[in-house]
Amino acid sequence: MNHIMTENHRIVHLDLKGAPPKVEYYEQIFPLFKKFGATGLLLEYEDMFPYKRELAELANPFAYSKEGIAEILELAKNNGLIVIPLVQSFGHFEFVLKHEKFHSLREVPDYPMALCPSNPDSILAVTMMIDQVMDLHSGIKWFHIGADEVYHIGICERCKKRMGTEALTTQQLFFAHIRAVLMHIKKNYPSVIPIMWDDMMRCVELPILLESGLRDLVEPMVWHYLTSFVLPPDWWDRLSRVFPNIWVASAFKGATGSCVYTTNIMYHIDNQMAWLSVIEREKAKFKKIRGVALTGWQRYDHYAVLCELLPHAIPSLAVCLAVLNRGTFNADIHMDVTKQLQFHTTLPLNPFQCHEIPKCNFPGSSIYEGMFELLHLDAVYEDFLHSESRLTWLNDYFVKRNFTNPTHLEAILAQALKIHGNLRQLQAKLQQSLSQIYYVNTVEEWLGVFLNSKVDKMAGLIDDVKNQLKLGGTASRVKYMQLS
């Protein structure tokens, strides 16, 4: 991308609010990131940072230690990767606002999403978080303050009163809080350049943007994860009138569904290609486009289930970085990544069109393969549950009334035993593979959400069939229909 960008950063986003890897896994994958062409990391710690003192309860039981953070930073440095920490400062504040101690900071008492910008304790909490993260990240050049998707603002009585007294709109209220956060960074860390997501500014008229006071305080990061752009048509013109330097953000995973566990690489290739086109068209409007952050979302919010795990998306990251570096996607890139990750056959770009389990060899490849096994087993499982034979001769209504035909149940049992056995086998395999990379809470959650319920469902159906077979089809239809 040297032919397109003033600067050439390719930053890999690690969303640690879900499935944070053990530190040892970074030792294996950071050299790969560098080999793929990454220049840095955007570390969104959330509750994985070892907060202390007044903030101690924000750290989850498996949070990295101070020494663990130092090791991650050293590994990044050894692989030539800059580090940009990310601390949310307004929205997506669930990991703070879920705690009773911080309930008073909520904009809406019943919702833990956004803090109240008019509560003086809010800016104190945010700046304490920033200070603690800064303490463990000396020498950094950029710091990301989040500030995306602030869905609740100007709602509470305190904010309404302030807006009336100071004649503020909700947009101006947003900027006032962000400006306070940025001024704290400028005053205490003058060599650090803040970054923020752009979405809360997209519909703000130019005069208000110019009056926001953010021009010399922050560099926006414009995010867009679709394959065709739907940003406001004049956004680039307005943005360039206010901010000389910007970043952009694509996605290599976590953008196609909140509970999807397989990565559609082709979708993400199209997203990178769309960005290349937009950058080429809009770059002259800015002094610098710093580079691209490739986001890898792991949860859509603090309460959401996990989406695609990082090891499964390593091939997608490799391809996306190659596309950004070379400015296109072609057969050469496809084959290069296939060889780099030691695929036995060509790397599949769309998991839903792949009928075999791809074999490969890279850190976490057993998890990559396991997701394909689950995808195929899921199809068999769903087909069985909704099959004509199961719905006809093993439906819940008839099972409850012990009204079943053993002639058909034996064939259903054979199918159920096979599916259950395959699910149990995959369960054991993924238990082992996940445990090598993730902490026990992640392993338990992933299996509990995506696999265990299927194993239990099949076990229950097998028990139903066996119990019905013992009855031998002797129940009276009339008698048992009268139970309803």
Residue 369 a catalytic site member: no
CA dihedral 316, 446, 255, 4 (to 10 degrees): -40
In angstroms, rounded to a whole number, what is the distance separating the alpha carbons of residues 253 and 264?
Answer: 8
- Look at strands 111-115 and 106-108 and give their pairing: antiparallel
Q: Which residues of 336-366 are buried (b: 16+ CB within 10 A; e: fewer)?
A: bbbebbebeeebbbebeebeeebebebbbbb
Task: Give whole-number Cα distances, 411 to 166, 401, 421, 425, 471, in Å.
Answer: 74, 20, 16, 22, 16
**Tokens standing for 276?**
């290349």
Among 27, 71, 149, 444, the one annotated catalytic: 149
Please give the positions annotated as active site: 149
